[in-house]
Structure 1
Amino acid sequence: MEITLQYFDGCPNWTIAAERLAVVAAENPGVIVNRQLVESVEDAETIGFRGSPSILVDGRDLFPAPLTAAGLACRIYATPVGVAGAPTLEQLRKAIGAA
């Protein structure tokens, strides 16, 4: 399974997502995590980037946000303890397991 972490440099939350994805990858030897830096609004619009961090499995967003406009913005996630800048480790495990 291939996971892509999309992000832009100005977002402080992508590193949290990267750390959590590294844990998931260590737990699942078949999981490969790639990073995709989104550098411009034009790039964001071209690839349908819904904010940083975005996490795709085999090209599909694990946490779809179809009503969010494409662009360079920090993304928020609903977690069991409220909104956060990245999904929890448990949310990632569950979503990746279901993918």
Structure 2
Amino acid sequence: MATIELLHIAGCPNSELTLDRLQRAVDNAMPSNAQIKYTLIDSAETAAQVMFAGSPTILVDGVDLFPTDGRTTDLACRIYLTPNGLAGAPTQQQIETALAAHG
């Protein structure tokens, strides 16, 4: 079973939306026993201990589902390239595609 984790910072306006899309994508693309861990990144030290690339970051088995060179310890929001342009969260379809490719 894959370990799925959503890393977020306090007050990130895209965390809840991403969690909702991630849950629906996991329900569609992965076994029903997959659990999502929702982890608050509350300091630069915490961010440095994980593969954090801004809020929200989705990890599957510790690997960024949307890898970039943008690993950071800044408590900042993340931007995703979506079919509709730049956005603060990937689309549900992008998440499902990335989950399927992962595994």
2:39 to 20, 26, 36: 36
- Runs of 4+ aligned structure 1 residues displaced above 6 Å come to none
Alignment of 1:49-60 (within 5 A): 49-60=52-63
1:49 deviates by 1.6
Provide structure 2 residue ranges, at least 5 long, that are not aligned to the other structure: none
Matched letter for residue 22 of structure 2: L
Number of aligned residue pairs: 99
Q: 1:49 to 1:67 in 2, by over 3 A?
A: closer
35-44 or 65-74, which deviates more: 65-74
1:44 deviates by 1.2
SS at match of 1:35: strand
TM-score, structure 2 as length reference? 0.87
Provide structure 1 residue ranges, at least 5 long, that are not aligned to the other structure: none
After superposition, the CA RMSD in angstroms is: 1.4
| C-alpha contact (below 8 Å) 1:41/1:71 kept by paired residues | yes
| C-alpha contact (below 8 Å) 1:2/1:31 kept by paired residues | yes
State the percentage of identical aligned residues. Answer: 42
TM-score, structure 1 as length reference? 0.90
Q: Who is 2:72 aligned against?
A: 69
